[in-house]
Amino acid sequence: MKEYSFDLARARQDTPGCDKVLHLNNAGAALMPRQVLEATTNYLRLEAETGGYEAAELAHDSVERVYDAVSSLINCRRDEVAIIENATRAWDMAFYAIPFQPGDRILTARAEYASNYIAFLQVARRTGAQVEVIPNDEFGQASVAALQAMLDERVKLIAITHVPTNGGLVNPAAEIGRVAREAGVLYLLDACQSVGQMPIDVQAIGCDMLSATGRKYLRGPRGTGFLYVRGEVLDQLEPPFLDLHAARWVAEDRFEIRPDARRFENWETNYAGKVGLGVAVDYALSWGLETIWSRIASLAADLRARLNALPGVELHDLGREKCGIVTFSVQGLAPEEIRRKLAGQKINVSTSSLASTRLDMAARGLQEIVRASVHYYNSEAEIDQFGEAIDALLY
């Protein structure tokens, strides 16, 4: 499908922020559609007017809806979904549940996110497991062949980032999943930037665990995220923390952990956020993830072409198939200065620095880059305006 069949007018009408800013920081936090804003604020009002516990009872179905919405989004069962306050904690709950032994190997990739890598290092220090990095292929993606060659019986976990925080790369998640399945190795996918941006099917990918956030491409409220854990591996994974929601205190000296993925949740949570996340997922499903993905990919390609034509602008995106995250630098201008100047014109971008994806950035000799991340509600006119704004910075 070509992008001109996309109903841009509806997308923008549904997005109150479109009138106020040129938002190219969707990889940071996307603009919420009014449906999400209304559901979230209405829920907060209900809490204020009826009481928090009473609101939860009254709105039980809309709070529970998020589990069905996420299960439709990623093609899993609702009891394989935990709603968690962000992607990092979701990922942590899965990762820290894995019982590592000295000599166990954790295989990750070059574009891995800082928080995940910090956790690898901590667990390696505590347990004697070791962290190893899968080399890139000629496209700058994690090499599936190299991964295959690294496998042995000591590999306990393959944990990679699908789309990194610092660029257009899309790692071959499903090919890696096939390798993991064949080898019978646990596979944890950080899908924080890919969920909501492109179709994600955990059966097709073959991951055992997947983490995502609400506020990025899903356009949900901040402070929301989720974890998927495949039913067959749930029993092997004892959550690093338990409470009276994750487990039951059944006798003075005994507790029983919940059988479903909600063992990774905790009792008190942001109910308004949960409702908002459910609406955000349903809203994305109403557009269709194929439609969203082709629109984003096409806008990002336009943006790259536009930037590429400017002298002094260098693009930094890796990968065979590139996503909505466009990264670049401009000769003679610091990324932070560019961000600030654009902000003064109500154009939102962000920067990505060495410490967020150290392995990848260091290998490419990059300290900091500008990140302009498009969403389907961005217009072609905005891409033009952005190109002109960058062009104007050059003089």
Binding site residues, ligand PLP, CB under 6 A: 86-88, 113, 161, 164-165, 190, 192-193, 213, 225
Task: Report the nearest approach of ligand PLP to the CB of residue 58 (Å).
Answer: 29
Mutual orientation of helices 271-287 and 60-74 as an angle, nearest 10°?
40
User: With respect to ligand PLP, which residue has the nearer C-beta, 165 or 291?
Assistant: 165
Judged by CB, which is closer to ligand PLP: 47, or 85?
85
Please give the torsion angle defined by the CA atoms of residues 87, 68, 25 and 85, in that order, rounded to the nearest 10 degrees: -30
The distance of closest approach from Cβ of residue 249 to ligand PLP in the complex, given in angstroms and rounded to an integer, is 30
CB of 332 to ligand PLP, least distance (A): 28
Could you tell me the smallest distance in angstroms from the CB atom of residue 170 to ligand PLP? 12
For ligand PLP, the closer CB: 216 or 262: 216
Neighbours of 130 (CB within 10 A): 16
Instruction: Reduce the DSSP state of residue 195 to 3 states and report it.
Output: strand
DSSP E strands: which ranges in 103-179?
105-109, 130-134, 155-161
DSSP 143: P
Give the phi and the psi of residue 220 in degrees, each rounded to 5: -90, 180
CA distance 171 to 112: 11
143 vs 224 by CB, closer to ligand PLP: 224
* Nearest distance from C-beta of residue 225 to ligand PLP, angstroms: 5
Q: Can you tell me which residue has the tokens 């549904």?
A: 14
According to DSSP, the β-strands at 209-213 and 186-190 are parallel
Bridge partner list, 314: 329
CB of 46 or CB of 161, closer to ligand PLP: 161
CA distances from 277 to 168, 282, 284 (A): 25, 9, 11
What amino acid is encoded at 150 in this protein? M
Least Cβ distance, residue 237 to ligand PLP (angstroms) = 19
User: Based on CB atoms, which residue is closest to ligand PLP, 165 or 378?
Assistant: 165
Closest approach, Cβ 233 to ligand PLP, in A, equals 21
Contact by Cβ (8 Å): 171, 161: yes
What would the two tokens of residue 328 be?
């670049």
What span, in angstroms and rounded, lies between the C-alpha atoms of 283 and 281?
A: 5
Q: Token pair for residue 385?
A: 């305006």
Measured from the CB of residue 177, what is the shortest distance to ligand PLP in angstroms?
17
Residue 55 vs 163, nearer CB to ligand PLP: 163
For ligand PLP, the closer of residues 191 and 390 by Cβ is: 191
